[in-house]
Structure 1
Amino acid sequence: MKTVKGGYALYGVLALVAGIVLGIVFSPQVPDAVQPYLPIAVVAALDAVFGGLRAYLDEIFDAKVFVVSFVFNVLVAALIVWLGDQLGVGTQLSTAIIVVLGIRIFGNAAALRRRLFGA
């Protein structure tokens, strides 16, 4: 199992800061066709990030697994929302995805809290 050394984690933080700064400076517009999928993609990405943080603290983090999980979560969530839109039940499927991913995020957050604070 691979672990990330402290120096490599700095690259991720720097990339995050650079992305936030670029987003603020250029203020990109989201196309109308993508807008229904963006909130679901953000929640799916947050699920992968919290899972990655948990794996990092448990010292079982693998960068390949994280990247695949991140991309796969976003794509599957977007695909389910698209399929729901095609079937005319997009709102119900979006809600289901948010509930499932929300449960996973809060589960990972609770594990992080227990690991960091022993509570």
Structure 2
Amino acid sequence: MNEHEKINYVEFPSKDLDVTKRFFQDVFGWTFVDYGPEYTAIADAGLDGGFFKSDQVVSTANGSVLVVIYSKDLEYTQSKITAAGGSIVKEIFSFPGGRRFHFADPNGNEYAVWSDLG
């Protein structure tokens, strides 16, 4: 449901949409709907969004917003990310209320995964 003045969609750059779709499908089980050769929409990700063809990348080092994904098993999710071709940008660390790590997808975009368990 669309709510007045609430965030309901996010978009990310992607150097290679096929690589992006395969990575997020393998790691998180997301599905996609293609809208032409330069855009794909995300489904089953918790928040609607999409990836657009671009040579740009998002990273906290260049001031980008950080999208954070929840996991019930941080180490397991981290192992799936590296097995699928992602890289760890910041190793697991604790913060008040949980633990998290940052990773880059195969295109170089930075995200984080957090857990309030363990």
Normalising by structure 2, what TM-score? 0.23
Larger Rg: 1
What is the TM-score when the length of structure 1 is the normalising length? 0.23
Structure with a larger share of its residues in strand: 2
Q: Which structure carries more helix by proportion?
A: 1
Q: Greater relative contact order (Cα 8 A, min sep 6): structure 1 or 2?
A: 1
